[in-house]
Amino acid sequence: MDIIRDGNLSRLYGILRDNPNAAAFVKTADVLNDREWLDQPDEAFADAHNREFPIIDPRHTAISVLYASKFGADESVWRNLRRAADIYAVDVSQFEVASTKVASASPVTYLLSEKGKYPIYGEMSVKQAEDYFLNYGHIMHDEARSEYGESLVKVAADLDVELQPETFRMTGKTVTDVPLARDMMFTRSYYTSSKEAQEAYMKVAEVLETAHIELSDNDTQAELVRVIRGIDKIAGLDRSYSVKIPTPESTVYNTVKLARPMFTMGPCSVTPEKLAMIDPDILGDIIGEDMVEAMSKQGELDFREASTLLSTLPRDIQNVVARTFRL
């Protein structure tokens, strides 16, 4: 618990009531909004890993000491708090408060799980995470943006938090209006002087000319985003995205119509409904029981795992599966 997680500051007010010395010292501390906290570097927090216990100035350092003293903090966090207090010449001993034993918190969800970054604590932090994603998602590395977006959509659904349409576009959850995407290739070509980029944009436009009016295949959409981003770098447009030149994600995921989850296997597009028609036992006879087990949860095929594994099978095996289950 720190000032960022203490939504209405009720816990801080309770601490200050019992500590007049601290109240007199921190009363002039600036109150930062959600965006300002998101803009702070990791080094602005005593717990840089979870971005908790801010130490941006003497008063916020004192406030973080109050929270850590009351609700507890790891020793590494305390070391950083003491170091910041020394730098700011803040006597933390005057801010000691009686500790409170708190119940074990629910497991924290990290939007980048392997790195343990961008923790989600509740509905408010989901909206903060979405705000950060909308502003900075386009400069994230592809893998980080994909994992962050996927995790954000999932945790928002779990917490029943409504996300903005642009978030679904950036996470590849919407249908592509192909004629509109094709028109953006012409627009991009007009705004660059690079002959190489102009030719590349026209090749993409030619491919889109032969496509269906709507595109919802996740793999194809992701590849299109990757190609456009590469051409944008050659064209020099990647530094000036705007309403006229939208990001590659906004160019491809250019509607608010949510795409149905599906993946390509052999000649077929597999939806969750089609996947449910596949008998795991028979599938195991074709591709092996170990692989079926790897893509199953509680005895049923998991769509996300199945989409990853089945779509990477050799083409002839994919065709056998498609024929066997008449997909």
Structure confidence at residue 103 (pLDDT): 37
Query: Which pLDDT does position 310 carry in this prediction?
Result: 84
**Mean pLDDT calculated for residue range 283-305:** 85
Q: Where are the chain's structural domains?
A: 10-95, 109-168, 176-252, 264-324
Element (H, E) at 270: strand 268-270
Give every CB contact of residue 318 below 8 A, 6+ residues apart in sequence: 265, 266, 310, 311
Q: What is the mean pLDDT of residues 76-98?
A: 78
Q: 138-180, pLDDT tens digit by residue? A: 778 777 887 888 888 888 887 778 888 888 878 878 889 999 9
Residue 271 has pLDDT above 80, yes or no: no
E-only strand ranges, 130-267: 176-177, 214-215, 263-265
Note the pLDDT tens digit of each residue in 121-139.
Answer: 667 678 888 888 888 887 7
In this model, does residue 218 exceed pLDDT 60?
yes
Average pLDDT score over the chain: 82
Indicate if the pLDDT at residue 91 is higher than 90. no
Yes or no: say if 229 and 248 are a contact pair by the CB < 8 Å rule.
yes
Tell me what pLDDT residue 236 has. 94
Distance of alpha carbon 49 from alpha carbon 39, whole angstroms: 15
Rounded to an integer, the average pLDDT of 26-31 is: 77
Q: How far apart are CA 280 and CA 301, in angstroms?
A: 7
| Segment 267-288 mean pLDDT | 83
Question: How many Cα atoms within 13 Å fall on the side-chain side of residue 310?
Answer: 32
Q: What is the DSSP letter of 15?
A: H
Which tokens sit at 124? 């408010």
Would you call 120 helix, strand, or coil by DSSP?
strand
Q: Is the dihedral of CA 33, 35, 40, 45 positive or negative?
A: positive
Instruction: Evaluate whether 118 touches 38 at the Cβ level (below 8 Å).
Output: no
The amino acid sitting at 69 is S
pLDDT of residue 105: 39
**pLDDT at 100 (0 to 100):** 44
Tokens 């840089």 belong to residue: 48
Residue 8: half-sphere exposure toward Cβ, Cα within 13 Å: 2
Question: Is the pLDDT confidence value at 93 over 80?
Answer: no
pTM higher than 0.75: no
74-83, 91-100, 206-215: segment of lowest average pLDDT? 91-100
The SS3 of residue 191 is coil
Banded pLDDT at 184 (limits 50, 70, 90): very high
Give me the pLDDT at residue 7, please.
63
**pLDDT value of residue 95:** 63
In this predicted structure, what is the pLDDT of residue 281? Answer: 87
**Res 107 pLDDT > 70:** no
Largest CA distance in the chain: 76
